[in-house]
A and B are shown apart, each in its own frame.
Chain A
Amino acid sequence: MAARTASKSGQQRTSNIIVNGVLILICLLWTIPTIGVLVTSFRDSRDIFTTGWWTVLPHRGVVDAGEIKIAPDVDVNGPITIDGVTHTFAEWRQGVTMPDKRIITWYGNKRTRTLHVQESKWIWFGANLTLDNYKNVITGQDISYKDAEGNTIIRKGSNFSAAFLNSIAVTVPSTIIPILIAAFAAYGFAWINFPGRKFFFTLVVALLVVPLQLALVPILQDYTVLGLNGTYMAMWLAHTGFGLPLAIYLLFNYISTIPRDILESAFIDGASNFTIFTQLIFPLSVPALASFAIFQFLWVWNDYLVALVFLGDKNRVVTVALAAMVGEKGADWHLLTSGAFISMVLPLVIFFALQRYFVRGLMAGSVKG
């Protein structure tokens, strides 16, 4: 028996190691590109084009370690001896690895009488990191250059901070409005008897399968008639509409699991449906609301298509601004990466702020147990 439990726990440990190993591998695979973007965004623009981002990490690299001058009296046409190693000029040109691992290479032609010494050694954090890229992106520094006729042309850089504010103006209402509506709807579907309840709920759930792209053009036509094109209102309405089916479905699933007794007890205590919703359902649904809030926030924040179609170029959100940057400054990796990172900051903050609401056992203690 003891042996069996021991082998069982051993098995468990092995499977734990495998599971953890796989998880770590997936996490690494997932985060390496992001880390690359993060590092690149802090690097000097010249460095970006000469070496990869990973060179900021400690690595073994070849570095210059001075020069060796050949004395004028040495005949450079014959074999040349340096530090006890003898080679011809042609061989020195190719570079020679010395017994002490130094690499010595003849520089230029025979007359220079100069050899470069390189050493392969560990390079620690020697990278040249800077905040300039972020300054550029956030403030939208002006770019000046001379055209063919010699006139100085000043062009406005992409102002990312404006895009950031636009994104907030689009995303926050587009997250809150559907949550409010969906919570009310989910409570109604879950707990209030009205004719056609099943039918309407099925209808809402069926809307989940309607692809967003299908509705873009018709909605755009309607917005044109209503004069909503390019307004924030257009974005709020669109995201609310596209977000509601999932929101209602998710919140319904959660709200319908709240024990019936609690609601009945509140009824007897004298609560109306509205009071029950605001005082019981809403506070008790916080985990579900938070998880949907994260979903919706990320979806709207990362949305490019809807923003491009309904908001257009007038009020660029971060995704559109980033895409535009690729066109305007295709080679400016230092700006692109810092822009990309700025666009990631807020979603990360939101995620970590709300994730503590994913607590299980919020209902603990209310009913038997």
Chain B
Amino acid sequence: MASVRFNHVFKKFGDFTALNNLDITVEDKEFLVLVGPSGCGKTTALRCLAGLEDVTEGDIFIGENRVNDTPPKDRDIAMVFQSYALYPHMTVFDNMAFGLKLRGVKKEEINRRVNEAAGILGLEQLLKRRPRELSGGQRQRVAVGRAIVREPKVFLFDEPLSNLDAKLRVQTRAQISKLHQSLQTTFIYVTHDQTEAMTMASRIAVMNKGVLQQLDTPQALYDRPDNLFVAGFIGSPAMNFFDAKIRKADKEAFVEMNGFSMKIPANKAEKYMAYDGKPVIFGIRPEDIHNPEFLPSNINAAEVEAKVDIIELMGNEINLNLVSGTHNYVARVDPRTRFTIGEKVKLVFNMDNMHIFDPSLDSENPVAVR
């Protein structure tokens, strides 16, 4: 049981900066997910925490202890690797008991802990087997079991589900969430899959190019992304972005896009007044674009005309690829919608959930205006 703190951590490999001023505090018993595209530094952060890499600058704390110079085995952490990294010549039991034996834990205690972990993970029948006789899912559970028996302060997971098939991944996701609840320990989990991040995390740290983009609860990341990168990364299908301009008219403000224009709700208009005439990026999630026939009540709707380009039936919803003026975008509409390809249709943007990003400070990753 411990908190974890990255205090302005830098990690450089030669000229390449893998971690750029990483500053994260993970509370005790929290399930923190580090998420980002590959090469964003999330795994490096985890390896620095595990002690497999030295940090170039900054401090890492586990609990109250600065662990920069502590070897991995003394950090009281356990790590589950993407490749599982089981010891191929040992049985499942020996794989789990290995770390305990090295620590000089008594034999009865080892037996108790391994059997307990095997019970939690449903591995009782497999204890005598070797890794090569196990399926992918079973190997993954052994890897988790090996971490559990150690009873560490912090669990580290490095993309533990990426080698499982889709169905097994969903199951194991739930298992790991349950494990977190029952163990009441700090979990730090690295993934590139935003679904895993959204479903499991108590908080998510979104990273890109070694820089922490935003650290917040899953819902907050979804509702209030700090910048364009987070807005685009969280959510599937991804948020639609439009190059736009703000236009002020009396007490009202409008978003002007190439070909059409929309009124900003009165309660939001105030903060965008200052951007009058300036280029911004307008963002709206596919699920906030509705078929007017099935419009939810109490929203600030803004109508737009669009041509249907592609229709993807998903069963519970329909994904439409739309063209309005020069803009291509995606909408996720009610499954009762009956549009045909090439049809000119009217759609409604829910302007309550719109996002405006200001590219004037950072043109590559515009910051959200709130």
Contacts and interface: CB of A to CB of B under 8 A. Distances in A.
A268 B155 CA distance: 11
B84 interface: yes
A362 B163 CA distance: 21
A262 B83 CA distance: 9
A284 interface: yes
B73 interface: yes
A368 B163 contact: yes
Given A283-B89, A363-B88, A366-B84, A266 B98 contact: yes
B37 interface: no
B110 to A, nearest CB: 13
Contact of B88 (A269, A270, A366): A366
Interface in A250-278: 259, 261-262, 264-271, 275
A364 B135 CA distance: 12
A69 B39 CA distance: 106
A361 interface: yes
A268 B88 contact: no
A288 to B, nearest CB: 14
A268 B50 contact: yes
Interface stretch (B14-22, B125-133, B176-184, B218-226): B125-133
Q: For A259, A265, A275, A284, which residue has the most chain B Cβ atoms within 10 angstroms?
A: A265
Interface string A337-365: 00000000000000000000000011111
A267 B72 contact: yes
Contacts of A266: 87, 98
Contacts of A267: 51-52, 71-73
Interface in B50-83: 50-52, 71-73, 77-79, 81-83
B357 to A, nearest CB: 39
B96 to A, nearest CB: 10
B87 A280 contact: yes
A209 interface: no
B264 to A, nearest CB: 50
Contacts of B87: 262, 265-266, 280, 366
A259 B136 CA distance: 17
Contacts of A284: 88-89
Contacts of B77: 268
Nearest to A280: B87
A264 B79 CA distance: 9
B359 interface: no
Contacts of B102: 269-271, 275
A206 interface: no
A148 interface: no
A153 interface: no
A367 interface: yes
B274 to A, nearest CB: 52
A271 B71 CA distance: 11
A280 B85 CA distance: 12
Contacts of A361: 132
Contact of B98 (A264, A269, A365, A366): A269
B223 to A, nearest CB: 36
Interface of A: 259, 261-262, 264-271, 275, 279-280, 283-284, 361-368
26 contacts: A259-B83, A261-B84, A262-B86, A264-B50, A265-B79, A265-B81, A267-B52, A267-B71, A268-B51, A268-B72, A268-B77, A268-B79, A268-B99, A269-B98, A269-B150, A271-B102, A283-B89, A284-B88, A364-B132, A365-B86, A365-B130, A365-B139, A366-B85, A366-B86, A366-B88, A367-B83
Interface pairs A-B: 5 shortest CB-CB: A365-B132, A365-B131, A269-B99, A366-B88, A261-B85
